[in-house]
Every structure is written in C-alpha cells, then in structure tokens.
Amino acid sequence: MRKFKLQVQTTVDGYMAGENGEMDWMSFPWSDDLNAYIGALTETVDCIVLGRKLAEGFIPTWAAGPEGEDQDSIDFMNNTPKVVISGSLAESPWDNTVVAGDLVATINELKAQPGNDIITYGGATLAANLIAAGLLDEINLFVNPTAIGAGKPVFGKDAYAQLRLVSATPFECGITAFRYVPKGT
C-alpha cells in the first residue's frame, strides 16, 4: 500500500498560516541541507493531494515557474499528478489534476492503487481533516523559528493524534524538520 505523507511548514507555536492566511513568517532562503532533505522526502512521491483553497494559489504559482526555485522542483510540482479535494469544484480547471469530493473514500482509493508515495501540503482545513480521520502515514513538520500567537493550526480542534517521533533534523537556515508516524506503527 502507498504511504501518504504530510509536509507542512509551521511556526514554533503550531500555526501553518496567520489568521488571514499570512505566510510571511516563513524562513527563507532555505539552506542546501534543507533542500536536500526535501528532495529525499519527495523522491518517492508520484501524486500530490491538495485542498481547493491551497490549489488555487499553489498550482498557478508553480505553473509560472517561481523565481528562485530550481528547475527540478518546478518540474516535479508541475509534472506530478494532483488530486484536489473540494466540495465546491465539479471539475479541475488545471492541467494534470483531478477533483474529488469525498476525503476518506478518495484517500483510501489512492492508497490502494499501485504506485509510489502520495504527499499533501495542506492547507489548514485539509491537514486537520486528514489527521482527524487518521489517513496520514507520516507527518513532516518543518518548524520555522518564529511564533505568531494565533492563526490556522496544523492540528485543528478535532485533529487528535498520538504520534511517535521518528527523527528531528535541524538545518542551517534555522528550520527543524520533525518526522512523525502514528503511534503503534
């Protein structure tokens, strides 16, 4: 069965965005050691799952080839098939992307298909719902050395999860990656 991973940047106080979606708290530029770690994390991925709100910015940004990103990352983000979880979209306005409505059924179907790993980058609602439903096999938190006091949490009010720390890796740029799996796995 395919492994489903969450990769998300967060503040030290557990927010993946400010109250209005602000992400200006993220540490940039990333150091080479962090870029290598991300490369290793995604090298086994052949499907990306996104929530609709994140997809609306994520897909067009990568399609435009964001400045400062290496071509391998741009190609990975553009060429990897995507599934957008949405209750409001009937079909995808983006290339190489399908839309699905039922979160649990869609993820279970994807995990049962042949292929490599699946990754999601959230957003906040999708990440919290995936955690609450117990659908993730691995949670990768990239903790930035910033606290913002309020915002959109990685773990929403119903996202109870007992986790086991697999690794904690600090990087030169100040970010630390924490890799967790559900307790008991």
Domain spans, the chain: 4-28+42-161
pLDDT at 180: 98
Q: How much is the pLDDT for 136?
A: 97
Please tell me the predicted confidence (pLDDT) of residue 173: 95
- Pairing type for strands 138-144 and 176-182 reads antiparallel
75 touches 85 (CB < 8 A): no
Per-residue model confidence (pLDDT) at position 110: 97
CATH 3.40.50.2020 matches 4-28+42-161: no
d(CA 71, CA 129): 32
CA dist 33 and 73 (Å) reads 15
Q: Structure pTM?
A: 0.93
Q: What is the pLDDT of residue 77?
A: 94
How much is the pLDDT for 184?
Answer: 79
Predicted local distance difference test score (pLDDT) of residue 91: 85
- Residue 89, SS3? coil
Q: How do the pLDDT tens digits run along the chain, 185 residues long?
A: 899 999 999 999 999 999 998 999 998 889 999 999 999 999 999 999 999 989 999 999 999 999 888 899 999 999 999 999 998 888 888 888 999 889 999 999 999 999 999 999 988 999 999 999 999 999 999 999 999 999 999 998 888 889 999 999 999 999 999 999 999 77
CA–CA gap between residue 144 and residue 25 (Å, rounded): 8
User: Which residue from 33, 47, 98 is spatially nearest to 76, judged by alpha carbons?
Assistant: 47
For residue 4, the one-letter residue type is: F
Q: Which of 43, 45, 37, 40 is nearest to 117 (CA)?
A: 45
Distance CA 1, CA 108 (A): 10
Contact 76, 96 (CB under 8 A): no
- Helix, strand counts (H, E) of the chain: 5, 10
Look at residue 4 in the predicted model and tell me its pLDDT. Answer: 98
